[in-house]
Chains A and B, each alone.
Chain A
Amino acid sequence: MSTDSITTLRQDLKAQIISHLNLEGRTVESIADDMPLFDEGLGLDSIDVLELIVLMDKHYGVRIADPKQGREVFQSVATMADHIQANR
């Protein structure tokens, strides 16, 4: 995949995360590609993992069967993008 489309995918993901998870006041620019999504970074929790699983399935057709797998995949926007590319 080209660098351009990787960048687009990551930017799209950031926008979708903000709108899907209702992160009012957050901008796409404020989310770095490898910023931790959970705990110290964006502060997401276990219910957000489930919402992101839905997002992945709905927007990218990528299914995550086991929520426990979710924590690894959703570590950062970069890992999410990688997973989508590998499984789309």
Chain B
Amino acid sequence: MNTGRIAITGMGAICALGNDVDALTKSLVEGTRGIKPLEHLDLGFPELHFGEVALSNAELVQELKALLGEEFALPLSRTALLALFAALSATREALDENNTVVISASTVGGMDLSERLFADWKAGEMTQARYAAEHPVGSHTSFVADAIGCKAMHTTISTACSSSANAMILGAQLLRTGRAKRVLAGGSDALCKFTIEGFKALSAMDTTGVTKPFSNERNGMNLGEAAAYLVMEREADALEAGRKPLAFFAGGANRNDAHHQTATSPEGNGPYLAMRDALEIAGLKPDEVDHINAHGTGTDNNDITELAAMERLFRKVPQYTTTKALTGHTLAAAGALEAVISIICMREGIVPVGHATSAAITGHTAMPVAQTIRRPLRNVLSNSFGFGGNDTAIILMGS
């Protein structure tokens, strides 16, 4: 039974480029860059640059109280606060709570809160022990489900940087197989010491300022934070309810690189398989791809292996860019955030520049776009590759 296309009928996002989709759109169109030293979060690291959301936790709480009312028990974790903010924005119109499934993703979960309370907990001072309930990665999903009045299934995916892309794939599958009528899919990750120290220890951070992906000068990534959610439903249901699709989720694939926990194989096997199979599922040939939103973290290993995979799959590599040079690497939220960005790009007819390089990585030919290009886009292939070799590619199509 053919269930038709999977439509995206709502989206919400908060990141370094803006607190909602309108602000994000404006930033992308105007070429605003969101990476700088921390201004709101008191985490230290003055020498590093980040894609920080321009709201403090107190400000997020204020905004959410206005939206949800005083009686709603808000979480303390920034991951959960960001998630609520973006999810409410995505579901502005009334949702069918009984039939909306929530699939969220995170790697940080409540760690931003736990690390602040950790010292007390270890010293045996358990006065704030109840906040330990916010620690598990899945707890933020419960807050989102409660806030939007969801009574259907909600679940959490955690597969590192491919998490929210996987959430969208699972959402599409549940819709296609009739197990859900509507899905809210996305993810959230907040900046915290735990993560920053970890990536520093892996020598993965850019120490020169802003990341320079896909160039010979690349030195590492900038971490970012964000939350992004998309409402997905079968096209026929959307049209029947008078909801116009913003875009379509044409398909996605997840494949394992099976090489190393943090480094991709030199031939880019996982990325290649994910992109190849995503295209096949979407019914697209490689030369029909208009634009690639690359994973492009700016690390030594990712960019060269992602490029190798693209050059294997495409006779002529399509235009590609990495928006991580604008928002930072938002970890579990990246898949969903970059899906939102891809939809904005199709809507506005732009391919934003990430980092303009004058030369391709030595030994390769394809370069990312060097300046913002205005052109109609029919589709975008978006990559999200996670630690543990968990590689995902999804395809968005214009409406």
Verify whether A and B have any Cβ pair under 8 Å: yes
Measured CB to CB, the residues of A under 8 A from B are: 45-47, 50, 54, 67
Contact with A along B37-69 (1 / 0, CB 8 A): 000000000000000000000000000000000
State the CA gap A46–B203 with chains docked (Å): 11
* A32 vs chain B, min Cβ distance (A): 26
| Chain B residues whose CB sits within 8 angstroms of the CB of A47 once the complex forms | 202, 261-262
| Chain A residues whose CB sits within 8 angstroms of the CB of B260 once the complex forms | 45-46
Contact B201 A50 (CB under 8 A): yes
Q: Does B263 contact A (CB under 8 A)?
A: yes
Measured CB to CB, the residues of B under 8 A from A are: 201-203, 260-263
Pairs of residues from A and B, 10 with the lowest C-beta to C-beta distance, nearest first:
A67-B203, A50-B203, A46-B263, A50-B202, A50-B201, A47-B262, A45-B260, A47-B202, A47-B261, A46-B260
State the CA gap A45–B263 with chains docked (Å): 10
| Chain A residues whose CB sits within 8 angstroms of the CB of B202 once the complex forms | 47, 50
| Chain B residues whose CB sits within 8 angstroms of the CB of A67 once the complex forms | 203
State the CA gap A50–B204 with chains docked (Å): 11
| 12 A-B interface contacts by CB (under 8 A) | A45-B260, A46-B260, A46-B262, A46-B263, A47-B202, A47-B261, A47-B262, A50-B201, A50-B202, A50-B203, A54-B201, A67-B203
State the CA gap A54–B263 with chains docked (Å): 20
| Chain A residues whose CB sits within 8 angstroms of the CB of B261 once the complex forms | 47
| Chain B residues whose CB sits within 8 angstroms of the CB of A54 once the complex forms | 201
State the CA gap A55–B223 with chains docked (Å): 26
Q: Residue on A with the closest CB to B203? A: A67
State the CA gap A71–B260 with chains docked (Å): 17
Q: Residue on B with the closest CB to A70? A: B203
Q: Residue on A with the closest CB to B260? A: A45
| Chain A residues whose CB sits within 8 angstroms of the CB of B201 once the complex forms | 50, 54
State the CA gap A46–B301 with chains docked (Å): 11
* A50 vs chain B, min Cβ distance (A): 6
* B212 vs chain A, min Cβ distance (A): 16
* A51 vs chain B, min Cβ distance (A): 9
State the CA gap A15–B261 with chains docked (Å): 26
* B220 vs chain A, min Cβ distance (A): 10
* A52 vs chain B, min Cβ distance (A): 12
State the CA gap A45–B262 with chains docked (Å): 11
State the CA gap A47–B203 with chains docked (Å): 10
Q: Residue on B with the closest CB to A67? A: B203
Q: Residue on B with the closest CB to A46? A: B263
Q: Residue on B with the closest CB to A54? A: B201
| Chain B residues whose CB sits within 8 angstroms of the CB of A46 once the complex forms | 260, 262-263
State the CA gap A67–B262 with chains docked (Å): 15
* B232 vs chain A, min Cβ distance (A): 37
State the CA gap A8–B263 with chains docked (Å): 35
Q: Which of B203, B260, B261, B263 has the largest number of chain A CB atoms within 10 A?
A: B203
